[in-house]
A and B are shown apart, each in its own frame.
Chain A
Amino acid sequence: MFSLYRCLLRLYPSPHRREYGEEMTAVFCEVRTAMEKKGAVTRGIFWLREIRGLVHGAFAEHVRSWAGSHSWALLPTRRFTMHSEFRFPKATPILMALILAGTVLAIEKAQAISASLPHINPPVGPIQPERLTFLPPVLLMFAVAYAAGLIGWMILFALKRSGMHRLSQVQDSAGRE
Chain B
Amino acid sequence: MESLPLTEPVLLILLSLAGQPRHGYSILKDVEEMSDGRVLLSTGTLYGALRRLLDDGWIERFEEAESSRGRQAYRLTAGGRRNLQTEVSRMKQLTRLASLRVARKES
Chain B, interface residues (CB within 8 Å), range = 20 to 34
Q: Does A100 contact B (CB under 8 A)?
A: no
Task: Chain B residues near A27: list those with CB within 8 A.
Answer: 23-25, 28, 43, 46
Task: Chain B residues near A10: list those with CB within 8 A.
Answer: none
Quick one: which of B8, B25, B69 contacts A31, CB cutoff 8 A? B25
Q: Does B62 contact A (CB under 8 A)?
A: no
Quick one: which of B1, B46, B50, B71 contacts A69, CB cutoff 8 A? B1
The digit string for B2-34, where 1 denotes a CB below 8 A from any CB of A, is: 010111100000000000000111001000000
B44 and A58 contacting across the interface, CB-CB below 8 Å: yes
Task: Chain A residues near B42: list those with CB within 8 A.
Answer: 49-50, 52-54, 57
Quick one: which of A20, A31, A49 contacts B51, CB cutoff 8 A? A20
A24 and B45 contacting across the interface, CB-CB below 8 Å: no
Q: Does A38 contact B (CB under 8 A)?
A: no
Q: Does A16 contact B (CB under 8 A)?
A: yes
B3 and A50 contacting across the interface, CB-CB below 8 Å: no
Chain A, interface residues (CB within 8 Å), range = 20 to 34
The digit string for A39-58, where 1 denotes a CB below 8 A from any CB of B, is: 00000000001101111111
B71 and A31 contacting across the interface, CB-CB below 8 Å: no
A57 and B25 contacting across the interface, CB-CB below 8 Å: no
A59 to B72, CA, bound (A): 24
B44 and A50 contacting across the interface, CB-CB below 8 Å: yes
Task: Chain A residues near B5: list those with CB within 8 A.
Answer: 79
- Looking at B23, B42, B50, which has the most chain A CB atoms within 10 Å of its CB? B42
A78: nearest chain-B partner, CB-CB: B7
B106 to chain A, nearest CB (A): 9
A19 to B50, CA, bound (A): 12
Quick one: which of B25, B41, B50 contacts A30, CB cutoff 8 A? B25
Task: Chain B residues near A60: list those with CB within 8 A.
Answer: 48
A residues in contact (CB < 8 Å) with B: 16, 19-20, 23-24, 26-28, 30-31, 49-50, 52-58, 60-61, 69, 72, 77-79
* CB-defined A-B contacts under 8 Å, sample of 29: A16-B51, A20-B50, A20-B51, A23-B47, A23-B71, A23-B72, A24-B44, A27-B25, A28-B43, A31-B25, A31-B28, A50-B42, A52-B42, A53-B42, A53-B44, A54-B42, A54-B44, A55-B44, A56-B44, A56-B48, A57-B44, A57-B45, A57-B47, A57-B48, A61-B48, A69-B1, A77-B7, A79-B6, A79-B7
